[in-house]
Amino acid sequence: MQTIRVLRYSIINSFQDFSSMFTIKAYLTGWLLRVLAQVTFFALIGSLLGSEEKTHFLIVGNVVAVGAMVCHSVSASTVWERWSGTLPLLFSAPSRPLIVLMGRSFNWVPDAMFSATGAFLIVGTIFGLPMPLPEVLWVFPLLLVTIVTTYGVGLFLGSISIRAPESRNFISRIATTVTMAIAGVNVPVDFFPSAVQSAAYSLPATHGLLAIRAVLAGSTPSTVMGHLIATVLTGAGWYLVAIASFRLFEATSRRTGSLEFG
């Protein structure tokens, strides 16, 4: 019960953080505009190729990439906790710091969902992406599962950046561009050598994207379900790795006394 209470407060804290970054106007005219331009940028490459099919492929892929990009911001927001000087206090509190660190970046989940959904609907409509009903309705829960599972990847990135705060932006940016490169966002995963494919299939975004593409292509429910299960399993794996990494950080910090007050 205490765990849920701590997690809830941590999540509330994350939304407070977020509201200090953006007003609604700044979010819509600044951030959302950038997201729409990002997906449009890649959609236009499809136009350059002279292929409507490629254009639609690029739109769907980059919608999911936007969601992953936002989730990777956990790398930076985890470091903010260290900068605010609260880590030593959290480590000496009766509850586990892990719970706080897992909740304090949760604001990125609805942000990612809103950004990706907005890009899907707006850029998709502009470029004539087929959105067959009722299949298209499945895109949104699949997108949510993809984002929630990719949040696990973000938590792992955060568990690395909290050890090396100056690398927080570096880590998230590299993770995002690599995801864009290999996760089937712009070209199918099988375009790449098998080693790269293995790396790609370790990401929930790769499987989530396959599930979304399958739904839009009218594939059988069992095909979609297979991709969905793979999304959840890989995501669970990243959550476990992130938890282990945070616990190791906690243990090492206690042993070496390496935490500082801001």
Partner 1 sequence: MSAFIAAFRFQLQLIRNDLDYLLDIATAPVYTVIFLSIVEHAGRPDLAVHAVLAPALITLWWQSLSTSGEVIDSDRWYGVLEPLVATPASLYTVVLGRISGVTMLSLFAFVESWVTARILFGITVPVPHPWLFAVAIVVTGFAMSGTAAVMAGLFVRTRTARTFQNSLSYPFFVLGGVIVPVALLPDWIEPLTRVVFLSWSADLLRDTLTTGPVVDPTVRLGIIFALGAVGALIGRKLIDALLDRVRALGTLSEV
Nearer to partner 1, 35 or 142 (CB): 35
Choose between 3 and 23: whose C-beta lies nearer to partner 1. Answer: 23
**Which one of residues 128, 130, 188, 221 is an interface residue with partner 1 (CB under 8 A)?**
188
Least spacing, CB of residue 100 vs partner 1, in Å:
26
Map the footprint of partner 1 across residues 90-149, applying CB under 8 A. none
- Which residue lies nearer to partner 1 by CB, 20 or 222? 20
Q: What dihedral do alpha carbons 54, 55, 57, 61 form, nearest 10°?
A: 130
Binding residues for partner 1 restricted to 148-177, rule: CB under 8 A: 166-167, 169-170, 173-174, 177
Shortest spacing between CB 245 and partner 1, in angstroms:
20
Residues within window 20-59 making contact with partner 1, judged by CB under 8 A: 21-23, 26, 29-31, 33-34, 37-38, 40-41, 44-45, 47-49, 51, 54, 58
The distance of Cα 180 from the centroid of its chain, to the nearest Å, equals 12
Q: How many residues in the shown chain lie near partner 1 by CB under 8 A? A: 36
DSSP-assigned states of every residue in the chain: -HHHHHHHHHHHHHHHHHHHH--HHHIIIIIHHHHHHHHHHHHHHHHHHT-HHHHHHHHHHHHHHHHHHHHTTHHHHHHHHHHTT-HHHHHHSSS-HHHHHHHTTTTHHHHHHHHHHHHHHHHHHHTT----TTGGGGHHHHHHHHHHHHHHHHHHHHHHHTTSGGGHHHHHHHHHHHHHHHSSSSS-GGGS-HHHHHHHTTSHHHHHHHHHHHHHTT--HHHHHHHHHHHHHHHHHHHHHHHHHHHHHHHHHHHHT-----
- Closest approach of partner 1 to the CB of residue 133, in Å: 28
111 token code pair: 């942000």
CB 235 → partner 1: shortest distance, Å?
A: 23
Cis ω on the peptide bond leading into residue 134 (within 30° of 0)? yes
Q: Which is nearer to partner 1, 44 or 248 (CB)?
A: 44
Asked if 4 touches partner 1 (CB under 8 A), the answer is: no
For partner 1, the closer CB: 54 or 104: 54
| Region from 7-15, 18-26, 105-113, 141-149 binding partner 1, contact rule CB under 8 A | 18-26
Residues 218-257 that bind partner 1 (CB under 8 A): none
Interface positions with partner 1 (CB under 8 A): 21-23, 26, 29-31, 33-34, 37-38, 40-41, 44-45, 47-49, 51, 54, 58, 166-167, 169-170, 173-174, 177-178, 180-181, 186-188, 191-192
